[in-house]
């Protein structure tokens, strides 16, 4: 971090260094500083997918899902595919489950290996009491792509027991 700070003093508008610092602060658990740096970056006109993604992420952590969606949309416009998964989760958090399903379905056509989209679409369908087979199909695919969600699949679709 000291090296990045030194380089940023020489090149205060260097977006790549700024992105590295934001990500580094986040990894160190210094999210308040990272969030402030995102705000400063936007205020001076630094416009990048990473800055917008982290602005959306920090708003998500605050429970400000509408704000998060706005920033995640900007991140996606700038090329952040990762923002799609977090946006679908925000839609679920706001109980906009039908919108989440439509959103995930649209983007799964372009990005068929995004576990987050399958997971959030499946959970949105579950919330709307839709066809259990469809719910489980999505949760199973999400678990295949990302083993960390396997417990949700097992609990929701297999009665809590591996088969």
Q: What is the mean pLDDT of residues 75-85?
A: 97
Model-wide pTM > 0.85 = yes
Count other Cβ atoms within 10 Å, centred on residue 156.
17
Helix, strand, coil % in the chain, rounded to nearest 5: 75, 0, 25
pLDDT, one tens digit per residue, over 23-38 is 999 999 999 999 999 9
State the pLDDT at residue 162. Answer: 66
Q: What is the mean pLDDT of residues 3-18?
A: 83
pLDDT, one tens digit per residue, over 118-153 is 999 999 999 999 999 999 999 999 999 999 999 999
The residue written with tokens 């995004």 in the block is: 114
- Cα–Cα distance for residue pair 127/147, rounded to 1 Å: 22
Residues 6+ apart with CB under 8 A from 43: none
Q: Ramachandran region of residue 11, left (φ > 0), alpha (ψ -120 to 50) or beta?
A: beta
């Amino acid at each position: 971090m000291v090296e990045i700070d030194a380089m940023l003093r020489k090149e205060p508008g260097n977006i790549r260094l700024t992105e590295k610092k934001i990500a580094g602060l986040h990894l160190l658990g210094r999210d308040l500083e990272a969030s402030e740096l995102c705000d400063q970056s936007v205020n001076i006109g630094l416009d990048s997918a990473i800055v917008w993604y982290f602005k959306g992420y920090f708003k998500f952590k605050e429970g400000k899902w509408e704000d998060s969606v706005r920033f995640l949309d900007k991140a996606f416009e700038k090329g952040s595919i990762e923002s799609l998964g977090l946006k679908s989760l925000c839609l679920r958090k706001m109980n906009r489950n039908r919108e989440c399903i439509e959103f995930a379905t649209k983007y799964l056509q372009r990005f068929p290996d995004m576990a987050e989209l399958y997971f959030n679409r499946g959970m949105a369908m579950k919330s709307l009491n839709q066809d259990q087979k469809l719910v489980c199909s999505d949760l199973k695919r999400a678990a295949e792509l990302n083993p960390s969600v396997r417990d949700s699949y097992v609990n929701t679709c297999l009665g809590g027991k591996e088969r």
